[in-house]
Structure 1
Amino acid sequence: MTDLIEKGLAELFAQAFQMGVEEGRKQPLIKHEMLTRKQLKERFGISPDSFDKYYRNIDGFPSYQEGGNQKYYEPAVHEWLMNHQQ
């Protein structure tokens, strides 16, 4: 009897785990949008002043010129930050 309960619980946990994995795959980790330098603080914790001082003028930092405004593609910024950690 105990073996049947353990087997039933194991199957139930396996199903719940699989459902959680499938649901997690549906959720994007990073939004695919263009950000302003002010929005970088909300998403990455980089204040506009720190961004201007340490990131903005670094050769290779991902940016896009849109009219008179510079914008930053969130996935590209995330990847750049991950690849340039110290």
Structure 2
Amino acid sequence: MSDLAQSLASLFQKAYEQGVEDGRKQPLIKHEMITRKQMKERFGISPDSFDDYYRNVQGFPSYQEGRSQKYYEPAVHEWLMDHQQFNN
């Protein structure tokens, strides 16, 4: 194989490996509506903690479906990421 072809093959291999590594860093969020009870399995937030600290916060993403509230999982993920608090 020529030096040019070998260099290109190496470059493509590195780009592929970087893409795989970047893909593994992406959160696995399903694009679906979830209930408050599903917050535990999806985000580790118990229903009681969800009711106490998130459910009625102004701006928390929710959708009223009949008499029940549902939550679009990607919007909840984004909201949680944007509203993190760090202890220093």
What is the CA deviation profile of residues 31-62 of structure 1, one whole-angstrom value per residue up to 9, with x for unaligned ones? 10000001111010000000000111111110
Give unpaired runs (5+ residues) of structure 1. Answer: 1-6
- The percent of aligned pairs where both chains have the same amino acid is 74
Normalised to the residue count of structure 1, the TM-score between the two structures is 0.72
Uncovered stretches (5+) of structure 2, i.e. residues with no partner: 1-5
2:56 corresponding residue in structure 1 = 57
Question: What is the RMSD of the two structures over their aligned residues, measured on CA atoms?
Answer: 2.9
Matches within 5 A, 1:2-81: 11=10, 15=13, 18=16, 21=19, 24=23, 29-81=28-80
Aligned-pair CA distance for 1:14: 5.3
TM-score of the pair, normalised by structure 2: 0.71
- The SS at the match of 1:71 is strand
**Cα distance, 1:29 vs. partner?**
2.9
d(CA) in 2 for partners of 1:20 and 1:67? 46
How many residues matched? 77
SS for the counterpart of 2:41 is helix
Secondary structure of the 1:76 match is helix
Following superposition, the deviation at residue 68 of structure 1 comes to: 1.1
